[in-house]
Amino acid sequence: MTDASAQPVRHSRKGLLVPFAIVFVGLALWTGWWFVLTQQIEKRLEGRIARLEQSGWTVRHAGVTTTGWPLRARVAMKHVDVIAPSGHAVAAPEIVAEANAYNPTKWVIAAPDGLVMTRGAKGKTAVRAEAIRMSIHGLTQRWPNVAVELAKPVFTALPDAEPFPLSKAGLVQFYMRPHVAGSNAPTDDVDVLFRLVDGEGRPNGPVEGLTQSGKLNAQVEAVVEKASALKGADAHGLLSAWTAAGGRFIDMKGELGAGESKTFLSSPALSADDKGRLEGEVFLRAEKPLAAIVGLAGATQGGSVDRAAAARAAAATPQGGSGDQGQGVDLVLNFKGGRTYLGPFALAPAPQLF
């Protein structure tokens, strides 16, 4: 017979609170770590800016904000203006950098509203794109791994500025990584790679003439010697201190496609003179080069391009026979005395590095 006066057994509910307590404590610890991390990031950013300013750079911005809790660290800087001692500069309405809070060793930096480049005395060029981003990882290495990408950029020269060689492109990429010697030991050199996909020149400009109103595609890689000297930018230019220290581009190779013309290039070494003009030889294996040279000669607003010299070079350039199998021609592009020569013909000033 059941005892009606017996009370039902009540089980303790303290066990149900344990998981919630663990989550609460873990969240509190993680939040504390997140705030410590973001404070360290802001301090390191301030230290980097201070070191740049001590080296003669000017860095202006309208404040730094850090968000992204709980899993991200997102640093945003408004109205950023970075000016090198040479007068070259980059400005952007906003620069945003993000990393995983649990592993802040890889950063992705973006300019969501575009940017404005100042090319020294050449003036300012606005750059708008579907995406302008840069990723950096390996920050504990002597040289980090860097990747820059501009997706569908459009280049617009601002008033009183010299025209920019390109009007737009499908893709622009730049990569940098530490150069490793045979012993797998990192050196003071870095490997670089540049890619241009479907570049289009401005109307009646030299790039449009070179590509016969088509698209310019390029991929060039090289080793940059004495890369540590790149940190010493001065009033003469971004690369002048590097050049003065004996910096060179070595083991350069690449491929250019301009309309129907295709060129494979190589150079054992390129350097610069005291005015920043490129010096050295580039060896070319060109397929159907005549159309590109004729187009260059016909550029009505080529600026510094010597159209008469380009026309003479076109007339003197051998075509290597006829037909698809006979179009390969070996040429040498020579940068000397501040000029660019194709054989004996001075086509234009040599590219200026600073």
How much of the chain exceeds pLDDT 70, in percent?
77
| Cα 272 from Cα 278, distance rounded (Å) | 4
pLDDT of residue 223: 94
pLDDT at residue 32 tops 70: yes
Mean pLDDT of 295-322: 53
pLDDT at residue 12 tops 60: no
| Cα 69 from Cα 27, distance rounded (Å) | 11
Q: What is the DSSP letter of 123?
A: -
Comparing 55-59, 100-104, 184-188, the range with the smallest average pLDDT is: 184-188
What pLDDT band is residue 325 in, cutting at 50, 70 and 90?
very low
Comparing 87-91, 252-256, 334-338, the range with the smallest average pLDDT is: 334-338
Decide: helix, strand or coil at residue 212: coil
Decide: helix, strand or coil at residue 198: strand
Mean pLDDT of 273-293: 77
Q: What is the DSSP letter of 51?
A: H
Mean pLDDT (the chain) is 82
Q: By C-alpha distance, which of 328, 325, 352 is closest to 340?
A: 352
Q: What is the DSSP letter of 113?
A: T
Mean pLDDT of 275-284: 85
Q: For residue range 202-240, what is the model confidence (pLDDT) as tens digits?
A: 877 767 766 666 788 999 999 999 888 877 566 566 667
The sign of the torsion formed by the CA atoms of 172, 178, 184, 188 equals positive
pLDDT of residue 292: 58
- Let me know: does 306 contact 330? Beta carbons within 8 Å: no
Q: For residue range 68-95, what is the model confidence (pLDDT) as tens digits?
A: 988 899 999 999 999 988 788 999 999 9
Does residue 288 or residue 294 have the better pLDDT?
Answer: 288
Structure token pair of residue 182:
């045979």
Q: By C-alpha distance, which of 100, 167, 159, 73 is closest to 129?
A: 167
Count CA atoms closer than 13 A to 160's CA, side-chain side.
4
| Cα 244 from Cα 61, distance rounded (Å) | 32
pLDDT of residue 332: 84
Whether the model pTM is above 0.85: no
Does residue 274 or residue 167 have the better pLDDT?
Answer: 167
Decide: helix, strand or coil at residue 20: helix
- Let me know: does 176 contact 184? Beta carbons within 8 Å: no
Q: For residue range 49-69, what is the model confidence (pLDDT) as tens digits?
A: 998 898 888 999 999 999 998
What pLDDT band is residue 302 in, cutting at 50, 70 and 90?
very low
Q: 73-84 burial, b if ≥16 CB within 10 A, otherwise e?
A: bebbbeebebbb
| Cα 220 from Cα 118, distance rounded (Å) | 24
Structure token pair of residue 173:
């990429």
pLDDT of residue 20: 72
- Return the ∠ at Cα 309 (arms to 305 and 312), rounded to 5°: 140
- Let me know: does 155 contact 164? Beta carbons within 8 Å: yes
pLDDT of residue 306: 58
pLDDT of residue 326: 45
What pLDDT band is residue 285 in, cutting at 50, 70 and 90?
confident
Residues 6+ apart with CB under 8 A from 85: 55, 56, 57, 233, 234, 235
Pairing of strands 186-201, 166-168: antiparallel
pLDDT of residue 295: 52
Structure token pair of residue 149:
């990408």
- Return the ∠ at Cα 186 (arms to 183 and 187), rounded to 5°: 105
Structure token pair of residue 281:
């030889």
Q: What is the 3-class SS of 271-304, one letter each residue? A: EECCCCEEEEEEEEEEECHHHHHHHHHCCCCCCC
- Let me know: does 218 contact 166? Beta carbons within 8 Å: no
Q: Rounded to 5 degrees, what are φ and ψ at 14?
A: -60, -30
- Let me know: does 172 contact 149? Beta carbons within 8 Å: yes
